[in-house]
Amino acid sequence: MTRDSKRWGSRLISYFLDLPVETAASGTSGKLQVRYVNGRLVLDSLHANYSFGSLHKLFRKVFRMVDLGSSPPENVLLLGMGGGSVVSIIRDEFRLEIPITAVEIDPAVIRIAGEHFGSGNYGNLEIVCADAAEYIKIADGPFGMIVIDLFVDNTVPAPFTGTPFLSNCRSKLARGGILLFNFIVDTAAQHDQYRELLGNLSTGGFSWSEKRIFASNRVLIARSADGR
């Protein structure tokens, strides 16, 4: 049996039974698992989908909401790459070849994205292994779109909801640019952090609207309040 035929066999079986492909230990994300689910590979942490499952569906909906296909930005800064769902949607579904800079702190995730999800096959894509909070300070902006999908498992680390980080993001947005912030509100602590995030966005000079895509996901669509 060839490698391709094994792959297709796994995809077929996965419509009836999830099939693990790799389990990896990460010092940042904890346990990571690559699985075939309903005919395609997905990347999951212990409590969250990192790429190509519900997260993929979420960003597909959000990009349609912001009319990405008809009004694409000149470039994209992706903070939190995961397995590469956002890159895949922009390249494979919207057929856009705009420059993408993807920042991912976890080397294990970057390796998995390349080995299992083909991130290395995309042109005009720069992958940076770095802390997003530090990278945004030195990033070569401006960016027409900044996508923030910064989770450790299902939690957004506190620095990424603070005013300094958000203000740095605003300083790297192009005039008329858009910031998308994905957040999970599933616990009392996450609810409190989310309310703080909303206040800090306003303090940081953003106007925003909220989209509730799934039961616990909130996606904030933000722009500079002064229209710059």
Assess if residue 3 is contained within a domain: no
Q: Which amino acid is at 146?
A: I
Assess if residue 2 is contained within a domain: no
Assess if residue 5 is contained within a domain: no
Q: What is the pLDDT along the chain (228 residues), one digit of tens a residue?
A: 444 544 545 454 444 456 778 898 888 888 999 989 877 889 988 888 877 788 889 999 999 999 999 999 999 999 999 999 999 999 999 999 999 999 999 999 999 999 999 999 999 999 999 999 999 999 998 999 999 999 988 899 999 999 999 999 999 999 999 999 999 998 999 999 999 999 999 998 999 999 998 888 999 999 987 655
- The CATH number linked to 194 is 3.40.50.150
Measured CA to CA, the distance from residue 46 to residue 134 in angstroms comes to 26
Residues 180 and 219 sit within 8 Å (Cβ to Cβ): yes
Assess if residue 6 is contained within a domain: no
Range of the domain at 90: 47-224
Residues listed for the chain:
228
User: pLDDT at position 17, please?
Assistant: 52
Question: Which are the contacts of 171, defined by CB distance < 8 A and separation ≥ 6?
Answer: 141
User: pLDDT at position 12, please?
Assistant: 47
Q: How many domains does the chain have?
A: 1
Assess if residue 168 is contained within a domain: yes
Assess if residue 169 is contained within a domain: yes
User: pLDDT at position 6, please?
Assistant: 47
44, β-bridge pairs: 33, 49
CA 174 vs. chain centroid, Å, equals 20
pTM for the whole structure: 0.90
Assess if residue 101 is contained within a domain: yes
Supply the angle between the helices 188-203 and 163-171 in degrees, to the nearest 10: 50
User: pLDDT at position 27, please?
Assistant: 86
Nearest one of 77, 74, 96, 89 to 176, comparing CA atoms: 74
Assess if residue 31 is contained within a domain: no
User: pLDDT at position 1, please?
Assistant: 47
